[in-house]
Chains A and B, each alone.
Chain A
Amino acid sequence: MPALTRPAPFHLLLAFASGGLLTLMVDFNGLVALHAGPFYSSWVAHGTGTVAALIFLGVLRLASRDDGKTDTPQKPRAPLWAYLGGVSGAVTVMLTSHTVNTALALSGTLALGLAGQVLFSLAADRWGLLGMQVRIPGLRDFSALALIFAGSMIIIFGQG
C-alpha cells in the first residue's frame, strides 16, 4: 500500500484536471439526458465507459508486454465487495436526477452533495474505512476544507 502523504503539486494538478474533466463529463452526459432522459444517459455512459476501459486496458497491456523477467510483488487479493463501487455510482444518478426536480433544484442538489462528500471523506480518513489507510485530519486540513467548501457555496448560490 503506498504511504499517504500530503498532496504534492503533481497530485494537485491531477485532481484539479480530473475535476475539470468531471465538469465536461456532466455537461456531455447532460446533453444526452436532454434528448433521452437521465436514466438512459447514465446507462449509455456506463456502457461506452466499459468499452473504453477495455480498450485502454488492452492498449496498456500491449505497451507494457513484459517478458516475464520483471517480478512484480504479489498484491493482496481484493475482497468481493471491492468490486461493487459501481453500484453506488448507479444509485447516485437516480437520486440526483430526482432531487434536481424538487425545490432543491440544481444548486441545492450540488451543495448538499458536496456536504455529503465532505462528511463521508472525513469519516473515511479518520477510521480508514473499507480497508484504506487511517489519516487523521489536522487543523490545516480543516482550514483547507472550510475555504474550499465555503468558496464552492458562494459560487453555487451566487448565481441567479
Chain B
Amino acid sequence: MTLAILYALLAGVLVSLSRQINGRLSLSTSALTASFWNHIVGLAVLTVLGLALGGLWPQGALDAPWHAYLGGTMGVIFVASGSWLIARIGAVNTAMLVIGGQMVSGVLLDLVRGAQDNIVTSVVGVAMIIAGMSLTQKR
C-alpha cells in the first residue's frame, strides 16, 4: 500500500517533470516539435519494453471503435499546448489551469452520461475551481 501511494505520487511528479522538459525543448524549437519528440521517444521506450516483456500486439488490438484511436492525436495537441503555456505562465499556473479544465470537463462528461453520483459535491468542487482559476488572472 505504501508502495502504491509512492507510485501514484511519482506518476503525478512525472507528469509535471515531462511538461517542464518539453517546455525547455520548446524554447529551442517549437511547442509542436517538442510534442513530436515527446511522442516518438515515448514510442521508442514503450516499443523496447513491449518487445522485451511481450504483449506489444495483444488480442483485441483493433477491436475498439475507430474514434478511440484518436486519443494519440489529442495527446499531441495536449503536449504542444502545455509546452507553449509553461514557458509563458510557469509550471504552477499551467498545472492548476489544466487540472481545473480536466476536473470541470470530467464532471460535465459524467453529467451527460448520467454517471454523476453526487451532484452537490460536484457543484461545490466546480465552484471552488472556478474561484481559484479567476484568482490566477491578471488584475
Given contacts A99-B8, A103-B1, contact A90 B16 (CB under 8 A): no
- Give, as a whole number of angstroms, the nearest-CB distance from B12 to chain A: 2
Q: Of A90, A108, A137, A144, which contacts B46 at CB under 8 A? A: A90
- Bound-state CA distance A52–B32 (Å) is 11
Given contacts A15-B85, A25-B78, contact A47 B72 (CB under 8 A): yes
B15 x A92 contact (CB < 8 A)? yes
Residue among B11, B25, B68 with most chain A CB within 10 A:
B11
Assign chain B's interface to a size class. 35 or more
Q: Interface 1/0s, chain B 8-35, versus A by CB < 8 A?
A: 1111111111111111110111001111
Q: Of B40, B105, B136, which contacts A86 at CB under 8 A? A: B40
- Give, as a whole number of angstroms, the nearest-CB distance from A66 to chain B: 14
Q: Which of A14-65 contact B (CB under 8 A)?
A: 14-29, 31-32, 34-37, 39-50, 52-54, 56-57, 60
Chain A contributes a number of interface residues (CB within 8 A of B) equal to: 116
The verdict on B114 contacting chain A, using a C-beta distance below 8 Å, is no
The verdict on A140 contacting chain B, using a C-beta distance below 8 Å, is yes
- Bound-state CA distance A119–B65 (Å) is 37
Q: Which residues of B sit under 8 angstroms from A102, Cβ to Cβ?
A: 1, 4
B133 x A148 contact (CB < 8 A)? yes
Q: Which of B36-84 contact A (CB under 8 A)?
A: 36-47, 49-50, 55-61, 63-65, 67-78, 81-82, 84
Q: Which of B99-134 contact A (CB under 8 A)?
A: 99-107, 109, 117-118, 120-122, 124-129, 131-133
- Bound-state CA distance A4–B86 (Å) is 9
- Bound-state CA distance A12–B126 (Å) is 16
**Listed A/B pairs (14) with beta-carbon separation below 8 Å:** A11-B97, A12-B97, A16-B97, A19-B104, A20-B104, A24-B105, A53-B40, A83-B41, A86-B43, A145-B92, A148-B132, A148-B133, A154-B124, A155-B103
A-B pairs with lowest CB-CB distance, top 10: A19-B101, A116-B12, A158-B121, A147-B132, A151-B128, A15-B97, A86-B41, A48-B72, A86-B42, A155-B125
